[in-house]
Structure 1
Amino acid sequence: MSLQPLPHSERFDKASVTVSGTVTDEKGDALPGVNVILKGTPFGTNTDTKGKYALTIPDSAGVLVFSFLGYKTVEKEVGNRTILDVSMGLSDNSLDEIVVVGFGLKNKKETISGAISTVHADELSHASTVTAAGALVGKMPGIAFRQSTGRPGSAPDIEIRNYGSPLVIIDGIQKDYGSFAQLDFNDIENISVLKDASASIYGMQAANGVLVVTTKKGKRNQKPLITLNGYYGLQIPAGYNKPADAVTYLKAIIQDETYNNVPASARSVTPEEYNKWVQGAEPGYQSFDWFDYIWQTKPQTYGSLNVSGGSENTDYYISFNRVEQKSMLRNFHGFDRTNFQSNVNINLSKKLKVGLNVTGRLERNRQPGLPGDDYDFALQSAFRNLPTKRPFVNDDSRYPGISAIDPQFSYGWINEEMSGVYKSEVRIMQLNGTGEYNITNNLKARVLLSYWFKNYRTDLREKSPILYKYNEAASAYDIAYQGNARYTERYVQNSEEMTSNMQLDYEKTFQKHHVHLVTGMETKSANYPGVYFLGSPEANGIPFLTTKTVTYMRDEIPFNQNRLGVLGRFNYDYDSKYILELSGRYDGSYFYKKGKRFGFFPSASVAYRISQENFWKDNVFLDKHINEVKIRGSYGVLGKELGNPLTYLTGYNFNQGSAILDGREVVSSRITGLATDNITWGRVYVLDLGVDVGLLGNRLTGGFDWFDRHQTGELASRYDVLLPNEIGFSLPSENLNSDHTRGIEMNLNWKDNIRNFTYFLGGNFTFSRWITGTRYRPRWANSYDRYRDLWNTEGRFRDGSFQLVADGQFQSWEQIANHPIDQDHYGNTTLRPGDYIFKDTNKDGYITDLDMQNVTYRVNNGTPWLNFAFQAGASWKGIDLRAEFAGGSKFTYEQQWVMRYFDGNTNVSQYLADNSTWYKDIWDKNSGYDIGRYPLLTKGVNNWMNTHWPNSNWQTNVTYLKLRNLELGYNLPDHVIRKAKLAGLRVYISAQNILTFTNMPGGLDPEMTHDAGIAYPNPRLVNAGLTVKF
């Protein structure tokens, strides 16, 4: 905490009072570093090494607040005292913590009976991520995560217990995941994650769990506090599959031609030319490093300004912030975002309070316009551009040359001037109005009204490439290649969402009984109209669309998407010991036909804090060492919105092809299919059993949960009823199937201090798996087909793939000749040293697909089944250090393309080349073999079983642990900031993703899902930052 001295005029006012004293712990030992603050102001001081303090305050009517990590906060009125000694007891802070569960509902953590985890602002503020979602990774159990791409502005995939994408609630309003991801993490007060049946109060879209986000508010009776925060960082490319150098590339070509018996006269490279490349001395024979050319170290910057405070009847929090993340790809601009947040609350009377929250956001992406996916095109270019070529003719940047076998991938022309430009912009504005009226002391009414508007626009101008060659005879640059495909594309969407929420809230405590009842209604209406144009300009210089050049237009007609929910929740606890919660929601969706539109989704949870029993407190050992034991359980039904909307209506899909009728083109329409009224809500049954503990004065805290989630009503078609092919479509889907997810999660944390040295460490993990449930009349040709059908065999883990199981490699011709298994079905005559040996699992003497086994998990997609994280930190005399690790296991990476074989149209992966089998003499097929991890490196298919049949040599069950964040900070001491009249000043340096422990092949980033390892990598980020308060 940063403290500020009283202004000079106040410190020396005639009515001022100097209060001093000593702060001790329960044992009477001095407590250094305790924060001593004059309540309602940012001014104060800290105790010294002997626990002593002295503070001058304006008058004796003030209240001093004493706070210290691990101890209960103490408030003392000054009164007539000038000496004020304080004893601080160990804190049950983790129990007193307030947990926000949405709809204006808050509970103390000690009376929470569901599986709910919370992370607070101070834990998020140490992140230097671009997105709020990135700041959440690893902070709590139950969160499965994977940052599959590091593209500027991208966020990690986050799932709760591997259920799927969660519902997001921001300040009581349902939003999409992108709204959460692009929220500035410095504007967040806390995030609560509802992982079990407690999510049922959110109804229809809460089946995958709920992220409840609360943004910051101002504090009453506090003078304006202005906070400036900023950092400058450098992004460093890491974890990417690198292309080979020129010598390795030519070596692979030579070996392939040797393997294919290409005569010397037809060789692509002569021995003399190859030696020139090896020596690299002559002009034109130096390898060009396309990776270093395309990938660059680029900056990432962040700045924010916020002001907060309040009077007796108002509070406010206003912030502006901007982040800019440059793309590490050459000539790509990157991503920038500007956020605005304003939260104001006013007491109009003793009974009526109103509030207005205004949220604004502007996002922009910009990069060269390229065919297909712009980033993927550039990523492939690192391999498609050959290391024997350079980007420009005579290194003149005005004349890009042909550097790839497919000329359009030549990177020299990839810039906005030559290739065009792609731009996207997102503008968002949201207004939330709140009102709260105290009808009686125990009964209040609340209303929340929200309007959200989003303007999304993309503009693409894609030019055709023009590449050059040098004509030495004419001393001129001639066109060597010119494309003819040009595109101009524009999409504009204006979206609106309107939400209303009305509640009655009754809360009363009588004796040891506490009752809390909430009932309410929520409505949401939305529409997302848009228009799309695609055109083909006649020349590169035409930047706009005309009626003549437009080749396609799509008008997305708006229609209201309406939802309605009626909710109720009842909480009861006796002496914070016996705890009960009942909740339910009656939901309706526009998806379904009248009569099947509504569903009721109830839940119940109970908890027993056995540590609050008298027999426990009377036992000296238990009371002192085992401070908290809470046993809890929950069960409920959640609704899941399935299928597509309005499937109970028949209709037509427009623009489904065309035909020439009477000499002119006629665009056709196609019937959407059979209408069905057999689709309604899916129902998800969630069971959770857990225990929370606090030990050794609650310095050691933890929890454990076992959960089971059963989804019913999953959509499937009745395939035992066949329709004639002439109809053109099959039977519609119905609620027929089910699935399971089952798992465990655990967390353990330790916090303590030794005099003025404070430290913490902790960790968490979550493990869950999908299990196939019931299927509608499954059918298989034989038992083997059933064995391999993981998606339709009840009780099987629903992931992974089947492949041959490798059992080493052939080391010699003699070993191949003596091999008892016919592996290639030609008596092993096509095998060579370096080829894989496969297990004959069915013992029939042949290798076929009947020998394939499932030894993998989800392949190249999804979040890991096992997620874990560790954190540690310490602070001493203003210096603090923290490290955050996060990782995953039980997911599978399968190598493809340049990580699996030599594609003749591209360069070879340096990793694959370094680990492949080579001829001892690449010019001589009979020179023998240097056996590598992979088979002989040749172009295309190298023994079908080696490179194309699924086999375990190309698959890795990945485990990894990343040092996601390492931060060292320093808070300037009180006597220094007093002189500068500041409330606080902190400087820090930090690094993200700087260290990774993994078994991922080739040093690839283990979070990427691209099978060739050429996704945009998650960069290493090194930065320095500053936080100033005044």
Structure 2
Amino acid sequence: MGEHNIKVMAGTERQSGTEDIFSAFRKNYISGAIDQLFAGASDQYMTNDGYAKQNARMNYFGRVNYDLRQKYMLEFVWRYDGSYMFATGKQFGFFPGISAGWRVSEENFWKNNLAFFDDFKIRGSWGQTGNDRISEYQYLSSYGFTSNRSYVYNGIENKLLNETKIPNPNVTWEVANQANIGFDAFFFNNKLSFSGDYFYNRRTQILIKRNASVPSSTGLTLPPENIGKVDNKGFEAVIGYHNQIGDFKYDVSVNGSYSKNKIIYWDETPGRPEYQQSTGKPMPPDPNNPDGNMYYEAIGIFKDQAAIDAYPHWAGAQPGDIIFKDVNNDDVIDGLDRVRSEKNNMPRFTGGLSVNLQYKQFDLAMLFQGATGAQQYVSAESGEIGNYYKDFADNRWTPENQPMHLIQEPSTAMRNTGEVNPTHSG
């Protein structure tokens, strides 16, 4: 079509499968001569089990590409996905995406003024993707026999049925909205390259339980609902240089990225202090344990009994114990003094360096990677089957040795508390 180029692609995909499992067990055989179930011991030493399930997915997808002289580029993609994970009427989701690019270096005003650029392109995109990788059959009820309740009728004991799972017939796709804007630049006969991107992702309809706003005293165990919202944004950049001098070739590339996530909506306990709320804070390491990133703030070590008497403390505190911050200033150290960490177990900063060297038929490749800005709670087993980390003993407080620094972050306070209490240094 002359200077216009158009490409169209469409397709469909279907996946289905069945799974049937049967197992039987029996023990206390008199000998191994007959390896059949009937040859084992009496009924109390045998069992059987089994289950069956089906799965199916139906997907339709397509893409349309358009460009004008490789200078102006436009692409539209779409998916219409169906999954057995959801009830009828909720099975299909439509997930579109669009991207555009402008090769600015092909414009005359750029060529006449910035000739050292071999190529410069600005690009942007927006799209949606769906997630159905969740627990199966959440839209169906399930029942089971109770283990400790029954009734007698006509002299026969009958066990009772109870509902083991409350269904959610409205469960549907989790959705990720992804936006990106960036550029690609090449200089000096394409020897030097540089690209940068800013991204913004919002995940919506995340499946979480409404356990916080519905107290356990109701006796309800609610199913997950599509109510969670989380933002993730940041930037990434890559700079590279490659050249050849005779038979020697080399490529060097440096990359780095920064990202931060934030909860936009999470089920909150009514009346909970702002500093303990999830909203506005990073995702906890385990979404099913929303309080997994709640910590006591360590602000020092009690040096003597006078220091203990002068500040709120755990019952039975002794010199050498951690001083926990009285966050709400009520002169009591309890669960209301835990605060949410501004970090989780995902690093905010990641980076890397790659070097590739080649001389004739010999080559050498090196890769260096690093990450920082994450926080991981480490728990060590102690007792008969384990021991403490060496770090827990180094520079440990004693009446004769009183280190000025706090314990390493993160760590635990176990003595005099009756439980493991995650802490972090303030």
TM over 0.5: yes
Q: CA RMSD for the aligned pairs? A: 4.0
Do residues 556 (structure 1) and 51 (structure 2) align?
A: yes
What one-letter code is carried by the residue in structure 2 that aligns with 1:943? N
TM-superposed deviation, 1:652: 3.4
- Structure 2 residue 424 is matched with structure 1 residue 952: yes
Q: For 1:712 and 1:693, how far apart are their aligned partners in 2?
A: 34
How far apart are the structure 2 equivalents of 1:818 and 1:674? 52
| Residue of structure 2 in register with 1:576 after alignment | 70
More helix by share: 1
Q: CA deviation at 1:882?
A: 2.2
* Match of residue 763, structure 1, among 254, 266, 270: 254
Instruction: Select the residue among 831, 844, 848 that pairs with 2:318.
Output: 831
In structure 1, distance between residues paired with 2:182 and 2:223: 41
CA distance in 1, matches of 2:301, 2:208: 44
**Residues 385-430 of structure 1, C-alpha deviations (whole Å, 9 max, x = no match):** xxxxxxxxxxxxxxxxxxxxxxxxxxxxxxxxxxxxxxxxxxxxxx
Q: Describe the shift of the 1:684–1:879 C-alpha distance in structure 2 as closer, same or farther (beyond 3 A).
A: closer
1:702 equivalenced with 2:189 (yes/no): no
Decide whether aligned partners of structure 1 residues 530 and 887 sit closer, same or farther in structure 2, where only a CA change above 3 A counts: farther
Give the match's secondary structure for 2:376.
Answer: strand
Correspondence list, 1:683-762, <5 A: 683-716=175-208, 730=221, 732-762=223-253
Quote the offset at 1:673 in angstroms: 4.2
| 1:885 and 2:356 matched | no
Q: CA deviation at 1:698?
A: 1.7
The one-letter code of the counterpart of 1:526 is: G
The answer to whether the 8 A contact 2:313-2:324 is kept is no
Aligned-residue offset at 1:930: 3.1
Alignment match of 1:599 (pick from 67, 86, 93): 93
Secondary structure, in 3 states, of the residue corresponding to 1:817? helix
Cross-structure match for 1:915: 394
Q: Secondary structure at the match of 2:390?
A: helix
> Does residue 400 of structure 2 align to residue 929 of structure 1?
yes
CA distance in 2, matches of 1:605, 1:535: 62
Q: Partners of 2:281 and 2:263 in 1: how far apart?
A: 5
Amino acid paired to 1:950: P
Aligned-residue offset at 1:520? 2.0
Hey, what does 1:870 align to over in structure 2?
A: 353
1:481-520 to 2 correspondence within 5 Å? 510-520=1-11
1:630 maps to amino acid: K
Q: Which amino acid in the other structure matches residue 554 of structure 1?
A: D
Correspondence for 2:282: 797
Matched residue of 1:511: which SS? coil
Residues 657 and 806 of structure 1, relative CA distance in 2, 3 Å threshold: same
Matches within 5 A, 1:52-63: none
Distance 1:730 1:819, change over 3 A: closer
User: What is the CA–CA distance in structure 2 between the aligned matches of 1:869 and 1:942, rounded to whole Å?
Assistant: 41
Could you tell me how far apart the structure 1 residues matched to 2:178 and 2:357 are?
39
Residue 871 of structure 1, CA deviation: 1.0
Q: Which amino acid in structure 1 is aligned with residue 322 of structure 2?
A: Y
Q: Which one-letter code corresponds to 2:202 in the other structure? A: H
Write the letter of the residue equivalent to 2:48. Answer: M
Deviations 1:457-488 (A, max 9, x none): xxxxxxxxxxxxxxxxxxxxxxxxxxxxxxxx
The amino acid that maps onto 2:417 is: W
**Post-superposition shift, 1:746?**
1.9
Find the partner of 2:14 among 523, 537, 541. 523
- Cα distance, 1:868 vs structure 2: 2.2
The answer to whether the 8 A contact 1:565-1:585 is kept is yes
Cα separation, 1, equivalents of 2:23 and 2:354: 47
Q: How many pairs are equivalent?
A: 406
Change (3 A) 1:730 1:603: same
Q: CA contact under 8 A between 1:740 and 1:771: conserved in structure 2? A: yes
Q: 2: distance between equivalents of 1:541 and 1:747?
A: 66
* Cα pair 1:821 1:840 within 8 Å, conserved: no
Q: The residue matched to 2:184 in structure 1 has which SS?
A: strand
- State how far apart, in whole Å, the 2-side matches of 1:889 and 1:555 are: 47
Deviation at 1:644, TM superposition (A): 4.3
Is 1:610 the counterpart of 2:104 in the alignment? Answer: yes
Between the aligned partners of 2:299 and 2:23, the Cα distance in structure 1 is 54
Shift of 1:545: 8.1
CA contact (8 A) 1:738 1:775 kept: yes
Instruction: Normalising by structure 1, report the TM-score.
Output: 0.35
CA distance in 1, matches of 2:214, 2:386: 51
Residue aligning to 1:127: none
Compare the two structures and name the one with the higher strand fraction. 2
Report the Cα distance in structure 2 between the residues aligned to 1:870 and 1:542, rounded to whole angstroms. Answer: 64
Residue 639 of structure 1 deviates from its aligned partner by: 2.4
Aligned to 1:595, the other structure's residue is in SS state: coil
Q: Which amino acid aligns with 2:424?
A: S
The alpha carbon displacement at 1:632 in A equals 0.8
Give CA-to-partner distance per residue, 1:178-220, whole Å, 9 cap, x none: xxxxxxxxxxxxxxxxxxxxxxxxxxxxxxxxxxxxxxxxxxx
Q: What's the counterpart of residue 368 of structure 1?
A: none
How many angstroms does 1:609 deviate by? 0.9
Higher relative contact order structure (alpha carbons within 8 Å, sequence separation ≥ 6) = 1
For residues 57-206 of structure 1, the aligned pairs below 5 Å read none
Would you say the 8 A contact 2:79–2:96 is kept in 1?
yes
Aligned to 2:80: 586
Instruction: Give the C-alpha shift of residue 666 in structure 1.
Output: 7.5
Q: Is the 8 A contact 1:657 1:669 kept in 2?
A: no
Report how far residue 578 of structure 1 moved.
0.4
Paired AA for residue 396 in structure 2? T
Q: Is the 8 A contact 1:917 1:934 kept in 2?
A: no
Cα 1:882/1:732, change in 2 over 3 Å: closer
Deviation at 1:678, TM superposition (A): 2.2
User: What code does the residue aligned with 2:66 have?
Assistant: Y
Aligned equivalent of 1:858 = 344
Could you tell me how far apart the structure 2 residues matched to 1:867 and 1:637 are? 25
Partner of 2:410: none
Q: CA deviation at 1:691?
A: 1.3
Partners of 2:236 and 2:146 in 1: CA distance: 49
Stretches of structure 2 that go unaligned for 5 or more consecutive residues are: 285-291, 408-412
In 2: Cα distance, 1:543 partner to 1:857 partner: 61
Residue 566 of structure 1, aligned match among 33, 36, 60:
60
| 3-state DSSP of counterpart to 1:604 | strand
Matched residues in 1 for 2:182 and 2:349: separation? Answer: 19
Residue identity in the other structure for 1:929: E
- How high is the TM-score relative to the length of structure 2? 0.79
Output aligned runs, 1:301-700, within 5 Å: 510-533=1-24, 546=37, 548=40, 551-559=46-54, 561-619=55-113, 622-623=114-115, 625-641=116-132, 643-653=134-144, 657=147, 670-700=162-192
Alpha-carbon distance, 1:519 to partner: 1.6
- Aligned-residue sequence identity (percent) comes to 26
Shift of the alpha carbon at 1:839? 4.1
Which residue does 1:21 correspond to in 2?
none
Distance 1:915 1:732, change over 3 A: closer
Unaligned runs of 5+ in 1: 1-509, 920-927, 956-1030
1:892-903 to 2 correspondences below 5 Å: 892-898=375-381, 903=382
In structure 1, what is the Cα distance between the partners aligned to 2:386 and 2:130?
A: 51
Q: Distance in 2 between matches of 1:631 and 1:540?
A: 77
Is 1:872–1:882's contact at 8 Å kept on the other side of the alignment? yes
Is 1:787 aligned to 2:278, yes or no?
A: no
Is the Cα contact below 8 Å between 2:308 and 2:318 reproduced in 1? no
Change (3 A) 1:540 1:929: farther
8 Å CA contact 1:915–1:934 kept in 2: the answer is no
Determine if contact 1:820/1:845 at 8 Å carries over to the other structure. no
Aligned mates of 1:661, 1:797 — CA distance in 2: 50
**2:353 aligns to what SS in structure 1?**
strand
- CA distance in 2: counterparts of 1:865 and 1:539, whole angstroms: 63
